[in-house]
Structure 1
Amino acid sequence: MDVVGVGLNATGTLIPVAHYPARGSKVEFRSAKVLPGGQVATAMIACQQWGLRARYVGTVGDDGAALLHRAEFARLGVEAHLFTASGCPSQQAFILVDDSGERTVLWKRDDRLTLRSEELDRNWIVHSRALHVDGHDTAAAAAAASWARAAGVPVIADVDELYPGVEALLKNIDFLITSRDIPGRL
């Protein structure tokens, strides 16, 4: 396996707008497209499309969005280990993108979607050439990063928020990708 991703997936509704709406305004949008996504899930799909062998590990709800993710991973050849949170909706996002390309993401994620470190199989991680995590499910990401580090597997993290316990993850990161405000908050 070339790369393993442990982290978020989300069903995103992409909504292009000419400009970001002013508070209290009504703005017509051009279209709306529902797509499978999420930080790590998107990265694994991209890696697979670029010719790498990719594995994804994460949690979905038991809804239509979960079926969409399962189908897309299968269609693209990503080896997916998806845990199902019963009676729970999958993570959802609405993404406003203006003409400049700037985006605003509105999201909702049920706590029952949390990936737990005990659900991970160490072999999924240590027998890869790279690990990619996002840190949202911090304990699971930290465990995976620790296993990868001990096995000499490089760890990449895409961190957009400083979640509780993220310090345990950051100490095992080789390559850190952040949103623009994170470096000043570290």
Structure 2
Amino acid sequence: MTKLSKVDLVGVGLNATDTVIPLSKYPPRGSKIEYRNATVLPGGQVASTVVACQQWGLRTRYVGKLGDDEAARLHREAFLQAGVEMKLITVAGGASPQSLILVDEEGERTVLCRRDDQLILQPGELEREWIVNARVLHLDGYDTAAATVASRWARDAGIPVIADLDEIYPGVEELLANIDYLIASRDFPCRLMAETDLEEALRRMQRRYGCLLTAATLGEDGVLAWNGKRLHHTPAYHVPVVDTTGAGDIFHAGFIYGLLQDWSLERRLDFACAAAALNCMAVGARGGIKSVEAVENLMATGSRHHATYCARTKTVH
């Protein structure tokens, strides 16, 4: 048996085939609206993060499940083209995950998802070597039981674990105990901790689960992070937005890239914000992945949204 190569990043989680539909305005309930085109593109939280890191020169591996349909072929081709090592489990007769993404005139997206239960990644389908032969593990927690096993293997091997969570899945508490860098969607911390104050929710998450960092991505308001000592608010960059699909995925890629370069937390968050902003300037979850040089150029020359974190009200303005 050929020994598995060491990679910088292994990702375990969702892939999805996105059908992106631009709309002149978001349709009110009960209405009928015309659309002019629809674009089918590869996406998915972890899959897109892995592809971005590969394009920036990291060695990557993706672990996930696909059906045996046209969508699966699209993903395989995208991974091959990017140079991502694949550990894919194929389900005969299974339907690969699909997303319909409605993008309004301001670039904001609304996602409709379809997932086949046959494609839930099971713990027994993972191989430990896939996980521990990496410098970093990235998870989205959707296949919670499998993600928990992978995170435990990584923790035992001294490998940092990054998580991109937006839903409170059954069993997620056990997974959270093995996360080093928890970077969640805007409302996840408050929902998880039953807390209305985002700052306090981040503090409580960090204390309860022992994470090195807890953070929430805030769209055009940037990111708010707590490292156990102080709060970090990094404003988003001001760019002409075409489509916000995948912004969070590319943010996580930027954070992981910076972590593996041993950058300061401030620089990691800044690079991640800039990478996410550039991705919003094109259609699709991976449409605006730019070079490291382009991201750093935006960091050096770009303007930011006038968002400041208000310590008194604990809100972003």
TM-score, length of structure 2 as denominator length? 0.57
2:103 equivalent to 1:61: no
Give the match's secondary structure for 2:64: strand
State how far apart, in whole Å, the 1-side matches of 2:104 and 2:159 are.
38
- Structure 1 residue 66: Cα displacement: 0.5
Deviations 1:19-72 (A, max 9, x none): 221111122224211011111111111111111111000000110101111111
Q: Which residue of 2 aligns with 1:176?
A: 182
Give the match's secondary structure for 1:159: coil
Instruction: Map 1:1-186 to 2 at 5 A.
Output: 1-186=7-192
State how far apart, in whole Å, the 1-side matches of 2:26 and 2:177 are.
37
State how far apart, in whole Å, the 1-side matches of 2:11 and 2:185 are.
19
- Structure 1 residue 84: Cα displacement: 0.8
Give the match's secondary structure for 2:164: strand
The residue type paired with residue 126 of structure 1 is: V
TM-score, length of structure 1 as denominator length? 0.96
Identity of paired residues, percent?
65
Give the match's secondary structure for 1:2: strand
Q: Which residue of 1 aligns with 2:287?
A: none
The residue type paired with residue 137 of structure 1 is: D
Gaps of 5+ in 2: 1-6, 193-317
| Bigger strand share | 1
State how far apart, in whole Å, the 1-side matches of 2:46 and 2:55 are.
14
State how far apart, in whole Å, the 1-side matches of 2:37 and 2:162 are.
34
RMSD between superposed Cα atoms in Å: 1.0
